[in-house]
A and B are shown apart, each in its own frame.
Chain A
Amino acid sequence: MQTPTHLPAPFTPHLTPPTGPTDAISPMDPTGAIGPTDPAGPLHLAAELRLPTNWLDYLILGIYFVVVLGIGFAARRSVKTSLDFFLSGRSLPAWVTGLAFVAANLGATEILGMAANSAQYGVYTTHWYWIGAIPAMVFLGLVMMPFYYGSKVRSVPEFLLLRFDKAAHLLSSILFACAAILIAGVNLYALAIVVEALLGWPQWVAIVVAGFFVLAYITLGGLSSAIYNEVLQFFVILAALIPITVLGLRSVGGWDGLSDSLTKSHGADFMTSWGGTGIGSDNPLGANWLTIVLGLGFVLSFGYWTTNFAEVQRALSAKNLSAAQRTPLIAAYPKIFIVFLVMIPGLVAAVLVPQIGTPESDLQYNDAIPYLMSQLLPNGVLGIAVTGLLAAFMAGMAANISSFNTVFTTDIWARYVVKGREDGYYVGFGRLITVVGVMASIGTAFLASSFSNIMSYLQTLFSFFNVPMFVVFIIGMFWKRASMKSGFWGLIAGTTAAMVNYFVLYKQGIVGIPTDQGANFVSAIAGFVAGAVVMVVVTLFTAPKPAEDLQGLVYGTTSPGMAEPPAAGDDAWYRKPALLGWGAVILAALCYIPFSF
């Protein structure tokens, strides 16, 4: 559940049907050679992007694959109970879960997609980080985590089971499981396209190889394997993006040179976060400050960061409540600065290839980072960059697989199908369903290559499900009276409203919203409001949950889990969740200042 949920898929490998190779035009030619451009759109990744890799780069890549498998084998001996397999025994330190939390989101579709976003929309990209992530991550850590972690639930749907009823639980479990497989498959397909363009491997080879490695290390070591790989991927991807950013800036005369040429070619608003977002004024994003703050910053972002189990699972594996609270807060600090590492390459590409994304160029917005890799990096660092990109694709897929197997086993299988077996059975079943899940993702990846439009609709559809999830959580956590049945109906109503707004009102042109991005924000707001209204109405006509069943689930109550004493040293000032959280919010707000005037 990575990109499409909070990022309206600027990285859309499935939207561009592959056309024949069109390597007749040099994309580097700034005079804009007009060539025979296919009306169906240029090649997704231009043929000229083939990287000049040599043995050195493959050595670096090979070492990584060996280490990935090694993690799986080494983590295997730590898996004794189902809790070890699905939640790392709730025993990991906060810095590990925190970096895994940010890395699970830092998939390659996010990296390439946000660079593309920057090449297209400019500094507006910062909104997806500073307002579209940080406040929600801090809210998760400070407000919601005591309920999640303290109630000892093993998944996000399990919380709905305790707070509402089986209908809400089953609905959210099944939808999450389907969405996770779909997104894992889309990740795999995106990987295949990029690898084919950059390294020349056939698509099926990339799909099968990446699928095999993810399958191997999760089946062996469970969530611990997935999390350890994510921590490793976090550092490798930094080692890949920092050289690209530094060299990119040098090639356009530093930040000043970058800023000057883009202001000249794209206008002054391109280099600001808020320029042109007044209500009624026109900007390329098609959204005003109100829809950005409410749609992206509040509804979409809170829905993604606080209820998406692929993220929350990392925090649930922390070793105590304090560590669980700090997981998203520790993640917030790198998240604030990662935007520069994806935005600057995107902006540099917009300078170096002024026609990027237009029919005059073979290069699309998504090609920004691969293009800079091919132009700037020598062998060695190039190998690191390729490794980082592949690692990010695999981690993006693995985060979905490792949350899928948990939800499928604990929430669906153990709860409704085969109940009451010994714990070892569910570990074995978890391994089996991991294999099934990876196979299904591989199938989805192949499907995505043939039925691209269906996949893109499905992705949009699932992305709307996170919005009502957030409404149901927020009302369920803060309003004791919210009845058992209101959860299910809130989910249904919110999802329906968001979809009707997007697919009927927007796509049929009944209301005029300039872009998909803007429509996404508005649909999210509509889904939120509809879900909330329906929950209130249903609550008024149905029975509340007995008060004794709400202990530790609703604001103002406590559960035994919350009373656990903090570990020694958790009271150090730099480990205070409130300080970490508010520090992140203030830092993100300060980051806006240089880009606001």
Chain B
Amino acid sequence: MSDHHSASPSGSGSDPHSGSSSGGDPARRSAHYSDKELQEEVSALETKSATAARLFDIRRLIGGLFVVYGVIVTIAGITASDADIDRAEGLNINLWTGLSMLALGLFFLVWLKLRPIAPPLLPPDATDAVQERQQGD
């Protein structure tokens, strides 16, 4: 159970991505389990990964869904009968929930408009800022 390869990982402070260019196809798997080989394999896969370039922006989807839900529920609130309102402790809960969902949906769409995802080669995570400020509240 000790057939690990004792290759010296790191230490040299070399760029982990440089390993991907040397020798064969590093994305091919081997039965290794040394730290260095794992780093090389994952780094090689990272350079080929398509997620950053091709995955759509979730903000568009949250924004779209919440705008649709917001409109539907707000309409249900505007047309609410007295019985509905009595049921909800005298509060027009559909109206308030609908408007809040609409506002959240619009927030995401505006955020997307103001801070679109940068081209994949230059990944500044400026978009994190707004959300984190919101999360941190």
Contacts and interface: CB of A to CB of B under 8 A. Distances in A.
Interface in B3-53: 4, 6-11, 13-16, 25, 27-31, 33-35, 38-39, 42-43, 45-46, 48-53
Contacts of B87: 375-378
B112 to A, nearest CB: 13
Nearest to A63: B68
Interface string A480-509: 000011000000000000000000000000
Given A56-B72, A235-B104, A381-B97, A414 B29 contact: yes
Interface string A543-554: 100101101110
B48 A239 contact: no
B88 interface: yes
Contacts of B46: 83, 89-90
B129 interface: yes
Contacts of B72: 56, 59-60, 380
A323 B13 CA distance: 22
B96 to A, nearest CB: 8
Interface residues of A, number: 97
Interface string B71-95: 0110011001000110111110110
A246 B93 contact: yes
Provide the main secondary structure of the chain A interface. helix
A81 B45 contact: yes
A284 interface: no
A568 B35 CA distance: 28
B114 interface: no
B84 A83 contact: no
Interface residues of B, number: 77
Given A319-B125, A380-B94, A235 B62 contact: yes
Given A83-B49, A95-B132, A414-B29, A378 B126 contact: no
Interface string A578-595: 001001000000000000
Contacts of A333: 135-137
A231 B58 contact: yes
Interface in A380-415: 380-381, 384, 414-415
Nearest to A484: B2
A89 B49 contact: yes
Contact of B128 (A93, A377, A543): A93
Interface string A212-242: 0000000000001000100110010001001
B89 A250 contact: yes
Contacts of A95: 127-128, 131-132, 135
Given A377-B93, A419-B29, A575 B49 contact: no
Contacts of A59: 72
A584 B47 CA distance: 35
Contacts of B137: 333
Contact of B61 (A71, A89, A92, A580): A71
A166 B4 CA distance: 10
Contacts of A167: 1
Contacts of A250: 89-91
B60 to A, nearest CB: 10
A161 B25 CA distance: 23
Given A59-B72, A247-B88, A79 B38 contact: no
A268 interface: no
B2 A423 contact: no
A167 B38 CA distance: 18
Contacts of A563: 13
Given A56-B76, A80-B49, A243-B97, A574 B133 contact: yes
A152 interface: yes
A108 B129 CA distance: 30
B119 interface: no
B18 to A, nearest CB: 10
B125 A570 contact: yes
B10 A560 contact: yes
Contact of A231 (B54, B62, B84, B101): B62
Contact of B4 (A96, A384, A549): A549
Interface in B96-136: 96-98, 100-101, 104, 123-129, 131-133, 135-136
Given A426-B29, A560-B9, 15 more contacts: A89-B45, A91-B123, A95-B131, A152-B42, A250-B89, A334-B135, A376-B88, A376-B89, A378-B88, A378-B93, A378-B94, A381-B94, A551-B10, A559-B10, A572-B129
11 contacts: A63-B69, A94-B132, A152-B38, A166-B1, A247-B88, A330-B135, A376-B89, A381-B97, A384-B69, A484-B2, A567-B124
